[in-house]
Amino acid sequence: MLAPKVMIPNTQSDIQIDPTQHQQLLDFLRSESALANNQHSSVSLTIAKHLFSKESHRNKNIVLSPLSLQVVLSIIAAGSDGSTQQQLLDFLQSNSTDQLNSFASKLVSVILKDGAPAGGPRLSFVDGVWVEKTLSLQPSFKQIVSNDYKANLSSVDFKNKICFYICSLFTTKFKCINFVLQYFGQRSEFMGCKKTNGIIKQLLPSRSVNSLTRLIIANALYFKGVWNDKFDASKTKDYDFHLLNGSSIKVPFMTSKEEQYIRAFDDFKVLGLPYKQGEDKREFTMYFFLPNAKDGLPTLLEKLASESESLKHKLPYDRVEVGDFRIPRFNISFGLETSDMLKELGVVLPFTNGGLTKMVNSSQNLCISKIFHKSFIDVNEEGTEAVAATATEVFTSSGMGFPTRLDFVAGHPFLFMIREELTGTIIFVGQVFNPLAG
């Protein structure tokens, strides 16, 4: 018999902020975000560069939310100490866990607050922590994840009810993410998600959780934005998209004759497509980074990652007239287990030596086993829909002048990102090598 489902709230509607407080928080973010988001952007692009350049992922469509992954790492840092915590802080380019927690609190409460009621993008960001019922969370850690990260805390039976999975549901009514925790009696076989018409149906792989599991930390981020200037679907036509092997494929391209935010450099161009803004002050934009050379994406990513502090100076802030302007429709679903990547980037101790002494009251040496991440994005004439989820298991053991008109034809591999303009927070980042590959 199925045990009761444990649900994480599917909206941030429980966070009530009056206009004065909202403005104060925005002012706080604006004043402190310069350093924090330079660090965030640097870490985001470092992750993207490393992941995109790996042989197993080279020349493949990828989308991920570095924000989602960094939030999980920040929570782990809050529950660690000593050299383990310092290694996490070094990777996240932060001076202290207090700094991470403070910024995360404002980020979750303001920047990632649902904007749909105010006419802006639909946003839902949720965190969850599941702990083995024989253990208890350290009071200080519990307070941090509950207050700063707005996480839902649940006690479950990992030891006896080991067949366990987390899946995310895409609810038709609210268009938000729910985490569902289901666990079964003494049954060892894996039971898949049923009636989950979700975008990300299963985050943790089959049998990835067992009787040694002590803690799971997970989050999900959902974004759906409508373009400020929608594309006319009747004008979408098939054109050639050039692949790296020298061949080309026919792909539906969206087009427009309206002025666009475009900036040209010596070897690449940048396009900014703003989303419809709500009544609050947040602004979200999707950026397309298009190298001039058909095979120039790896070089462009290397350049952006090495100059992450000047990223904002490469973004377009003025509309220009367009000549030939075409953007392919595409959708991407991507997932990976990130522990190997993080170890290669220098985050080793949380997976080996443990040091997670501030998480739970336990004499056992706890360490991170796996960190799973899944993302999805759909870009079409109306706008963008994107989802990301990350889960951790803890076990024992220089610009050119603007010409009169600019062409922007994304007819070969390009980089994209979704960014909140007030703080510079990168929500999603990805690469497209074949718009039809999914």
On the question of pLDDT at 102 being above 70, the answer is yes
89 and 204 inside one domain: yes
Confidence of residue 113 (pLDDT cuts 50, 70, 90): confident
**pLDDT the model gives residue 405:** 84
In this structure, what token pair is assigned to residue 418? 């979704």
- Residue 63's contacts (CB-CB under 8 Å, 6 or more residues apart) are 332, 333, 334, 375, 376, 377, 386, 388, 428, 429, 430
Average pLDDT over residues 254-259: 96
Is 438 a domain residue? no
Q: What is the mean pLDDT of the chain?
A: 80
Is 344 a domain residue? yes
- Residue 397's contacts (CB-CB under 8 Å, 6 or more residues apart) are 212, 365, 367
Sheet-wide strand order for 6-7 = 6-7, 177-183, 164-170
124 and 243 inside one domain: no
153 and 283 inside one domain: no
77 and 203 inside one domain: yes
268 and 165 inside one domain: no
Question: What's the CA gap between 334 and 375, in Å, rounded?
Answer: 5
Give residue 311's domain range.
Answer: 233-330+399-432
298 and 155 inside one domain: no
In this structure, what token pair is assigned to residue 308? 């992450």
On the question of pLDDT at 147 being above 60, the answer is yes
188 and 273 inside one domain: no
Comparing 128-137, 261-270, 283-292, which segment has the lowest mean pLDDT? 128-137
pTM equals 0.84
Average pLDDT over residues 286-297: 96
Is 437 a domain residue? no
Closest Cα to residue 251, out of 438, 83, 112, 72?
438
Residue 293 belongs to a domain with what CATH number? 2.30.39.10
277 and 212 inside one domain: no
Is 1 a domain residue? no
324 and 338 inside one domain: no
Is 66 a domain residue? yes
Is 286 a domain residue? yes
Per-residue CA distances from 48 to 91, 304, 431 (Å): 14, 10, 9
Is 378 a domain residue? yes
96 and 241 inside one domain: no
On the question of pLDDT at 200 being above 90, the answer is no
89 and 141 inside one domain: yes
On the question of pLDDT at 273 being above 70, the answer is yes
Is 268 a domain residue? yes
Question: What's the CA gap between 22 and 259, in Å, rounded?
Answer: 33
192 and 312 inside one domain: no
Confidence of residue 123 (pLDDT cuts 50, 70, 90): confident
Which ranges constitute the DSSP H helices of 276-326? 297-306
Question: What's the CA gap between 413 and 251, in Å, rounded?
Answer: 13
On the question of pLDDT at 78 being above 60, the answer is yes
Residue 161 belongs to a domain with what CATH number? 3.30.497.10
3-class DSSP state of 320: strand
Domain count, the chain: 2
Maximum pairwise Cα distance, the chain? 70
Question: What's the CA gap between 434 and 59, in Å, rounded?
Answer: 9
**pLDDT the model gives residue 300:** 92
Comparing 25-34, 150-159, 305-314, 373-382, which segment has the lowest mean pLDDT? 25-34
pLDDT digits (tens, 9 = 90+) for 15-66: 344 555 456 555 655 555 555 666 888 899 999 999 998 888 888 999 999 9
